[in-house]
Structure 1
């Protein structure tokens, strides 16, 4: 059997560990488009971390020790959105993605806290380490979700007792409520967890899968996004049972459709993946609409500094550099280039700014999101590149590595580029 663990309202539960007086009260953790990273003055950085893996796991965090006023109020505006909320808040209609202003109007007693991502990562990493001693094959799917394979470890008829005991121990040792689902396949186990929430367990044996899955609406299945949902409903497919009966249609949609069909059918055979290597590192930020291209370039230089520090943290040697731009009316420009080179902050910056010059295809539109990343990590230092520039590139790399050591010790903002403060 495969199990799926999902920490209930994880960020909100962590806030209650910090402040027990929040227990039983409607609370929300809010976020906003990083009001600190592009600041010309104060240093508010705490750290970066790469301890946790999986989807939707950011790596760069800023000071959470701000008051509501400092973090969410800008002039006369309340900025930010709800990124998670307690079940007490959800019963009042609070939803993820709702603006903080809307949430407070809906629930005046709502307690809203700035995110404390480093603490959330610390608790997630501690739990992952603990789970690794109790589950033979463990995969971290996101900061608050894990898959585990119990095959050959726990007999199927013992799974209900095992996962209930696991749930109780996590609550006792970490103070975190968790829901656990179990099923013969990975994605059906995740679906079972949804039925177990909050703070419960649900086991689906082989004979239970079809009666449980078939009546559910297609939107309940993990991995069916809005695009797939619209396509399926255009064919009058509303339930997962109807989807399973439309194998011929899903197979016409090639690999994504075939993969979805087998996941819903529970015969995908996808394994729990333990300890897979990090394939890429990236950082992106949503910003207020910005027309000034000089300011955009300044912000890209700042993102390069932070991305370079992440690369230094894992001693990576990327070959591929990526840049993505989103404009105010939804237009997007994306491009990656693969070019073996001697990595440093300066070499990354040159490539990103060169990409931006070619990629900014709508110069008359405001930019609302910037994202950069790197991948294609080599296992040994590159010996390729320009022979004429090699010595200069190596000198830049030595300087960057020394700067990275200083930043790791004293904070990523201890050494900044002059252009960042202009």
Structure 2
């Protein structure tokens, strides 16, 4: 471990939050698989190792139960207990066969046909928010943050008057799921938000059970090959759709716009050739996507990158580092919207590949296109080096993104 002597092994140190590509790049070069005693976890940073690990049945996504045991003793309450019971039913925290069954039932809500059918509704929402930007604006607070929560609320069938509540509930969940450091009350805050959201969803699900509508809840209530989601599973799935459809898409748009505005040549290319928006979004996911790391637990002892992992160990799979690995991408620190990086790990890989990827791509493409088209003079209103990033272990997102629209 002498190779790491000059590196701060606090994965939430200032450099790791502010400039994680440089920080994890050094780790990838010097010790691509190492045991981090401070965090009591393996840190894995190479693309090839992540690709293997994310597909491996020797690692498990079922990490809520051990986390619950560690947390509830320090933050015990009925609300906290109920919150973790809901999280345990999220399919992202399941292994086969439970994961296989749940994914099959939930995937009905994200088929290409379902997503395409929402394009005009999503475009209308985006145009409305874009039109409200004027002069100097905070692109996170005024656009990238409210947009995904409004869209998933629309898709779930939430009445317009209640959609602001969804943004608040999602914000409370973020501090728990993504591991917000410096928030001593994050468990209690998340629990209050989760219970309020659960109670709201129980009523909404009951409404659409009696009177189905054109929304995802009605789709998820349907039977598939004689099976259907239980009420508990349906509530958990709706909370996951809200959370998964909000935080990561906000950061995709925010990080993506920062990257484009910091690379005028690439922004100009996108303006000149708008058909590149598809590969551009995938390149932005690779270059500085919202997924900082993925957590897995070791189910069976095995070796990765020449290191022996033991049963019960925790592992941080650093997606952000893998997406800048020179063994996988030529000139990886260069933004190139013509690259077409089909092997990036922004949405993961394997059985846990992001179920909402088609929707996230659509929102990213429509949002970035609308901003670029609507404001030819759009520019940063702050030095990129002075911008603040949320100090979370598993995600990467800006606190604010000040811009001038003209």
Please indicate, yes or no, whether the TM-score normalized by the shorter chain is above 0.5: no
Structure with more of its chain in helix, by fraction: 2
Which TM-score applies when normalising by structure 2?
A: 0.25
Structure with more of its chain in strand, by fraction: 1
Which of these two proteins has the greater Rg computed from alpha carbons?
Answer: 1
Which TM-score applies when normalising by structure 1?
A: 0.24
